[in-house]
Amino acid sequence: MRTATSYICVHCSASPAKMDIGIKEITEWHRERGFFTIGYHYVIRRDGTRERGRPLNEIGAHVVGHNHHSVGVCLVGGVSGDGTLTPEDNFTSEQWTTLYLTLKELHEAYPKAVIVGHRDLDAGKACPSFDVSPIRCAEQQDYALASKWRSGRSALMRRERRRSSRLNTRRSDHGSTIPTSNCPTESSSSARAGSGQPIGRSICVSSFNDQS
């Protein structure tokens, strides 16, 4: 049983937009890796349906070194469908709505928890294929900002790509900068670069090794 919750971690399933999967398929993937069940606590399907994974009070298996004090929420999607499996922000409006409702619910249950993306806790990951920091700031100020944030996502993502391009040229082996509050500085919200790997094992694959 998990005794502390410091992070609410957003993931992606590292699957193309056209792949309509959920708890059943992801559980199979994780069992193939030796897990007794799915590593996430929630999965949000392409149509916005939220499915329950591990019981919320149990330790998950979704981010190395932080499973014992985090909740994992997975959005289905996150890589391109052109065969390169490049990290891609391809989530649906229904998924964004459910994600906000889920994060709101979780943050009310765990008010001291910081909302992060997988890549915020592991610099070697691109998951969940978008910058979570605007969600952290919207959460801290007012969840009514969610619709405004969604409507302005194109501009935010353009800014994110430009900033990522600048910062990635300066990144070396310094590791990840873990956010400590729900409204981070630029350095803690910058994008991490990633590479495509096999569907369902790609962006998040090594995180499942830590099941403690």
Looking at the DSSP bridge assignments, the partners of residue 50 are 44
Backbone angles phi, psi at 118, to 5 degrees: -50, -40
Q: Is 118 labeled as catalytic in the residue annotation?
A: yes
Residue 40 annotated in active site: yes
Cα–Cα distance measured from residue 113 to residue 107, given in angstroms and rounded to the nearest whole number: 7
Q: Which of 30, 41, 62, 125 is catalytic?
A: 125
* pLDDT above 60 (res 8): yes
Phi first, then psi: give them for residue 32, nearest 5 degrees.
-65, -25
Average pLDDT in the chain: 76
pLDDT tens-digit series, residues 150-204? 554 545 455 555 655 555 555 444 455 566 655 433 333 333 333 333 333 334 4
Q: Say which of 7, 40, 100, 110 is annotated catalytic.
A: 40
Contact, 73 vs 99, CB < 8 A?
yes
* Cβ atoms within 10 Å, residue 171: 13
Question: Please, what sign has the CA dihedral across residues 198, 203, 208, 210?
Answer: positive
Task: Confirm if 46 and 20 have CB atoms less than 8 A apart.
Answer: yes
Mean pLDDT of 43-71: 95
CA distances from 132 to 19, 37, 129, 190 (A): 23, 26, 9, 9
Q: Is 11 a catalytic residue?
A: yes
Between CA 53 and CA 40 the distance in angstroms is 6
- Range picked from 24-28, 122-126, 143-147 for highest mean pLDDT: 24-28
Higher confidence at residue 110 or residue 211?
110
In residues, how long is the chain? 212
SS (H, E, C) 80-126: CCCCCCCECCCCCHHHHHHHHHHHHHHHHHCCCCEEEEHHHHCCCCC
The C-alpha atoms of residue 83 and residue 20 are separated, in whole angstroms, by: 17
CA distance 88 to 105: 26
Distance CA(44)–CA(95), nearest Å, equals: 6
- Quick one: pLDDT at residue 151? 52
Selected catalytic residue, list 9, 12, 74, 127:
127
Query: Which residues, in sequence order, are bridge partners of residue 72?
Result: 9
The residue annotated as part of the active site, out of 7, 9, 11, 41, is: 11
The pTM (predicted TM-score) of the whole model is 0.71
Question: How many Cα neighbours within 13 Å face the side chain of 93?
Answer: 7
Q: What are the boundaries of each domain within the chain?
A: 7-202
Is the pLDDT confidence value at 71 over 80?
yes
Domain 7-202 belongs to what topology?
Answer: Lysozyme-like (3.40.80)
